[in-house]
Amino acid sequence: MAKRSTTTEPAIDSTEQKIFDAAHEVFSQKGMDGAKMQEIADRAGINKALLHYYYRSKEKLYEMVARAILNKAVSAVREVLEKEMPLEEKIRRFIETYIGVISRNTFIPLFIISEINKHPERFFATILPQDLPKPHLFFQQVEAEIAAGRIRPIKPQHLLVHIISMCVFPFVGKPMMAVLLGMRPAKMQTFLKERTAEVTQFVLAALRPQ
Amino acid sequence: MAKRSTTTEPAIDSTEQKIFDAAHEVFSQKGMDGAKMQEIADRAGINKALLHYYYRSKEKLYEMVARAILNKAVSAVREVLEKEMPLEEKIRRFIETYIGVISRNTFIPLFIISEINKHPERFFATILPQDLPKPHLFFQQVEAEIAAGRIRPIKPQHLLVHIISMCVFPFVGKPMMAVLLGMRPAKMQTFLKERTAEVTQFVLAALRPQ
DNA sequence: GTCTATAACTCGATAGAC
DNA sequence: GTCTATCGAGTTATAGAC
């Protein structure tokens, strides 16, 4: 078996990388149970045996992919949440970058959430990254602004959850929303593009002191 | 095979009902692919053969369960959205009943969303109910209030999506939120109970004119 | 490293006794 | 109606040639 150092990235067009990319596509769309090794092999343009040659088992391959997905999501949140900048700017930037990441990778949140639900043990034991974003600084900033009377009183945890929900959910539940709103795909596309501005405006309006 | 009239409810403690309940649990947690007939049989306290005796195939059993879940979700939304009442009251009631349903059935939205993603054809063809809630009346009300200067201008579709997102997402993504906020299950429970009040307050604040 | 062939296993479904 | 036993399709995983 190819013993691969985790720290060294495999070459872009190596078989190993092609397998990983194919697995990424299939797992992120169908989850662990729905994904089939045959489909991954087909997409990678190789045969099943090679999957096992590079990544011993389906389980192992899955873990690799799942970790990569998680890391992407986590670093996007941390990027903004932990930086030093004025609250309003932080909120604007958070919404913008977060919606950006999600809209370019719609499957991420659904993947994470589904897999936590189906296999919580595995998820927390082997997939969740060690160093999660710390929202502490953000909470302190909110408290400070409230104390200074520059924003309406609100529990900072709820504010964060409000924002994340409005950023993520419309993309996760896109087909549902489309049906409810009676929008065809093209119109839905336009609608989702407006979200960044709409969410920002909504949040800032809700925070304006009485 | 037992020919069951769809209109007549089977007795509460009948084998048929026990199977349905077990299937409901397992399917709602693991989806179509993740669910195993053996597990359903075990939970129902019977053997696999009986599942097929009552519900010909896994697919059929799944459809029954999925339709029941969908109907529950849909009727909850319609209940409030289509009734005649002042906008502020409607918003309050919508948030309250919607969070109520979701918190008593956390799995519903995730189930719907995952299954749409994995098997869109089946979902739209055989599971989605015919008569979906019509948000039209709600949209008109919002436009009217804006015209009268009683609320800040906002696109009604976005308002509805904001509200739904803030109601649903924290429950769907509960484990993720708990990790991010660093809350243990008990604290998370308390936190989610506060959502009704917090979301209501937030939305009304964001709509206040000027 | 990559392939073909096949073993080993999982799981939905059916046959047939009671 | 309910059970045990088993079939057969589909899937993961391995053996072994090249």
What are A70-96's pLDDT values in tens digits? 998 888 889 889 999 999 999 999 999
Tens-place pLDDT, residues A159-200 = 999 999 999 999 999 999 999 999 999 999 999 999 999 999
Evaluate whether A205 touches B152 at the Cβ level (below 8 Å).
Answer: yes
Q: Does the A12-56 domain belong in CATH 1.10.10.60?
A: yes
* A168:B170 CB<8 A: no
Q: Looking at the predicted structure, is the pLDDT value of residue A55 above 50?
A: yes
B36 Cβ under 8 Å from any chain A Cβ = no
User: Would you call B29 an interface residue with chain A, using a CB distance cutoff of 8 Å?
Assistant: yes
pLDDT in tens, chain B (210 residues): 444 444 567 787 899 999 999 999 999 999 999 999 999 999 999 999 999 999 999 999 999 999 999 998 888 889 889 999 999 999 999 999 999 999 999 999 999 999 898 888 889 989 999 889 999 999 999 999 999 999 999 999 999 999 999 999 999 999 999 999 999 999 999 999 999 999 999 999 999 998
pLDDT of A1 higher than 50: no
Which pLDDT score, from 0 to 100, does residue B181 have?
Answer: 96
d(CA A110, CA A102): 10
Where does the pLDDT of residue A52 fall: very low under 50, low under 70, confident under 90, or very high at 90 and above?
very high
With CB atoms and an 8 Å threshold, state whether B161 touches A177.
yes
Tell me what pLDDT residue A79 has. 82
Rg over CA atoms, chain A:
20
The per-residue pLDDT of chain A, averaged, comes to 93
Give one DSSP letter per residue of A77-142, joined into a string. HHHHHTS---HHHHHHHHHHHHHHHHHH-THHHHHHHHHHHH-HHHIIIIIS-SS---THHHHHHH
Q: Taking CB atoms and an 8 Å limit, are A202 and B162 in contact across chains?
A: yes
- What letter would DSSP give residue B119? -
Rounded to whole angstroms, the Cα distance separating A163 from B102 reads 19
Chain B segment 37-66 residues within 8 A of A by beta carbon are none
- Return the SS3 of B83: coil
Domain boundaries, chain B: 12-56, 71-207
CA within 13 Å, CB half, A126: 12
Phi and psi at B134, nearest 5°, equal -105, 110
Predicted TM-score (pTM) of the model is 0.92
d(CA B41, CA A122): 25
Query: Reduced to 3 states, what is the DSSP secondary structure of residue B95?
Result: helix
Nearest neighbour of A165 by CB, restricted to B31, B159, B166: B166
Nearest to A125 by CA among A38, A49, A63, A33: A63
What is the CATH class of B71-207? mainly alpha
